[in-house]
Amino acid sequence: MPNRIKIGIIICDRYRRCAGGKCFRALKNREGAFSVYADRDVELVGYTTCDGCPGGNVEYAGDEMVKNGVEVIHLATGLVVGYPPCPNIRTFKALLEARHDVKVVIGTHPIPEKYLKMHTTLGTWKAKSWKSILEPTLADEATRKSYD
C-alpha cells in the first residue's frame, strides 16, 4: 500500500464561508474520519462546496478532483450535523462512487459535542441507517468538546 493518499473534501454550501479549520485540524491530528490515515501521508487535492441544494457542484467537483488524482472524497461533517442534515448525502456518495470509481467517506472532523447533544434531543439520528454514517466521526466526549 502506498504511503501517500490524495483526498478531496466537499462541504455543505451553508458553510461556504468556512475556512476549513475543523477539517484541516482533524486532518493534521488524524481525528474523526481522518483517523484511518494515521500511518499515511495525505495530500489534499480539492476543497469545495456542493453549491447548495440539490448539490449542483458535486458532479463537477468529482470530475475535477479525479483529474487531480483524488483517491478518496470526504463529504464534510457539516453535511451531517447541519439543521437539517443534508437530504442528498447518500445520493452524493452513490453518484461519486459510481461515476468516478473512488471511495467516498461521509465525514471529516469529529462531530462537535453541541451538535451531538442537539441532534440527540431532536431525534434526528434515531434511524439505524444513521449508525454507519455517524461512525467515522463519533469520538470520545473530550474530543467532541474540543470541536465545539
What are the structural domains of the chain?
Answer: 4-142 (3.40.50)
Q: Provide the pLDDT for residue 5.
A: 97
* SS3 (DSSP) at 53: coil
Q: Provide the pLDDT for residue 44.
A: 97
Helix H or strand E encompassing 49: strand 41-49
Cα 22 to Cα 9: distance, rounded to the nearest angstrom? 12
Cα 147 to Cα 90: distance, rounded to the nearest angstrom? 24
* DSSP calls for 62-110: HHHHHHTT-SEEEEPTHHHHSSSPPTTHHHHHHHHHHHH--EEEE-SSP
Q: Provide the pLDDT for residue 124.
A: 96
Residue 49 grid coordinates = 462546496
Residue 126 grid coordinates = 434515531
Q: Give tens-digit pLDDT for 15-68.
A: 999 999 999 999 999 999 999 999 999 999 999 999 999 999 999 999 999 999
Angle between helices 58-67 and 89-100 (to 10 degrees): 40
Section 124-142 average pLDDT: 95
Section 130-135 average pLDDT: 95
pTM, full prediction: 0.95
Q: Provide the pLDDT for residue 14.
A: 94
CB 48 within 8 A of CB 15: no
Q: Give tens-digit pLDDT for 71-130.
A: 999 999 999 999 999 999 999 999 999 999 999 999 999 999 999 999 999 999 999 999
What length is written for the chain?
Answer: 148
Cα 133 to Cα 139: distance, rounded to the nearest angstrom? 13
Residue 60 grid coordinates = 463537477
